[in-house]
Amino acid sequence: MLERFLDSEIDFRGRDFELIPFGAGRRICPGLPLAIRTVPVMLGSLINSFDWKLGGEIAPKDLDMEEKFGITLQKEKPLYAFPLNLS
């Protein structure tokens, strides 16, 4: 049951055996360390390389930031952002 992980203070990079369903030891995903280092750099690069516009007629103050729990954490209402060329 995945709900057992919701209020947990476990560091997924450590040796906490409660996270074995997600892979641990020799069977952990070999790309995890690369992803942890690369994703923030790629996201920062995207944010810095473009101006961004929200999709639809939504104002930034009206964004719905509620989350929907499942196998992965998702936004209740998806965020649509469109990259624009830098001026």
Strands in the chain per DSSP E: 51-54, 67-68, 74-75, 81-84
- Specify burial of residue 12 (Cβ count, 10 A radius: 0-12, 13-18, 19+): middle
Find out whether 60 is annotated in a ligand binding site: no
Specify binding-site residues for heme.
29
Binding site per annotation, positions: 29
